[in-house]
Structure 1
Amino acid sequence: MQYWLFKTEPDAFSIDDLAARPNQTEHWDGIRNYQARNFLRDQVKQGDKVFIYHSSCKEVGIAGLAEVVKEAYPDHTQFDPESHYYDPKSLPDNPRWVMVDVKFIEKFPAILPLKKIKTMPEISEVGLVKKGHRLSIMPVNEQEFSTLLAAAR
């Protein structure tokens, strides 16, 4: 099993939105960064645990936990001219972009704020605390995942 952090803007999609979905499951679409796409396509596997991280909002931080329940498959939004994520260069027989399905596990009692995460001496490898790392999907090593999970709970 691997561990990940997926960023989302809660005005568009939040941990509460995931919890409210049928079967508490939703596809994670709209990834349009090649490195993040490569993580989704090549490394994110069924059973992996995912921190849901709220960004670009008043309370920035880790909001909850989900699990990958379906591995990478073509992101349908790339083919929809009405979608914000439309990519006219992507073809159905050769899609550029993928998505995975995630299932809600839990919402934490409070957001684990980025400010607090940055002060935790045992957290040094996850991209959140590194200058210039802005990926919407990033790996989290097992030790840091356990530390962050305990702090969030």
Structure 2
Amino acid sequence: MAYWLMKSEPDVYGINDLARDQTELWDGVRNYQARNFLTSMAVGDLAFFYHSNTKPPGIVGLAKIVEANVVDPTQFDPTHKYYDAKSSPDKPRWRTVVVGYVETFPTGITLDQLKDAFSPEDLWVVRRGNRLSVMPVADAVAERLLAMARSA
């Protein structure tokens, strides 16, 4: 099992939405590095759910990968904001995962707390200027994050 961090704006799709829906296609990723991370995910992996573009930003819960290597259907819909004219059903450019709800943390772990606890090498989300929406999390870092979330 691997660990990941997945960012979403709570006014677009937040942890409460995932708790309500229980599973959701993680669509719309249009960064090649983030896409490559998505294609590296396996069923059963866990993802820290991070609320971005909010006050305060931070990790608010946990999701699991319930389906891996899924073709993102939004790339083929010309009316969708994530449409990609260079992608085709026989050669899709964008793949993703389906995430399932695991838990909402009693108290989120804010970005400031993350910066105090981790170096940019340990946890990429604290790197200045990091805009990736999906990133790996090392096992040792994940264990510390889970301990922080559950001790709050």
Normalised to the residue count of structure 2, the TM-score between the two structures is 0.94
Runs of 4+ in 1 over 6 A off after TM superposition: none
User: Which consecutive residues of structure 1, in runs of 5 or more, have no partner in the other structure?
Assistant: none
Say what the alpha-carbon RMSD is for the aligned residues: 1.3
Describe the superposition over 1:95-150 as per-residue Cα deviations: whole angstroms up to 9, x where unpaired: 00011011100000122100011001577412112233221000000010010111
Match 1:99 to one of 85, 92, 96: 96
Aligned partner of 2:19 in structure 1 is: 19
TM-score (norm 1): 0.94
Q: Quick check: 1:36–1:138 contact (8 Å CA) kept in 2?
A: yes
Matched letter for residue 64 of structure 2: E
Q: Percent identity?
A: 51
1:72-99 deviation per Cα after TM superposition (whole angstroms, max 9, x unaligned): 1110001111111111111111000011
- 8 Å contact from structure 2 (residues 62, 102) kept in 1: yes
Do the aligned partners of 2:105 and 2:149 also contact (CA within 8 Å) in 1?
yes
Confirm or deny: 8 A CA contact 2:68 2:98 kept in the other structure: yes
Judge conservation of contact 1:59–1:111 (CA < 8 Å) in 2.
no
Matched, 1:54 2:51: yes
Q: Structure 2 unaligned runs (5+)? A: none
Contact 1:117 1:123 in 2 (8 A): no
- Paired residue for 2:130? 133
Change (3 A) 1:110 1:102: same
Distance 1:132 1:17, change over 3 A: same
Could you say which residue in structure 2 is the equivalent of 1:31? 29
For the structure 1 residues 121 and 87, does the alpha-carbon distance in structure 2 shift closer, same or farther, using more than 3 Å as the test? Answer: closer
The one-letter code of the counterpart of 2:103 is E
Q: Take 1:91 and 1:31, find their aligned partners in 2: how far apart are those partners? A: 16
Report if the CA contact (8 A) 2:70-2:98 is conserved: no
Please give the alpha-carbon distance, in whole angstroms, between the structure 1 residues aligned to 2:120 and 2:147.
Answer: 13
Q: How many residues align?
A: 150
Conserved in 1, the CA contact under 8 Å of 2:48 and 2:59?
Answer: yes
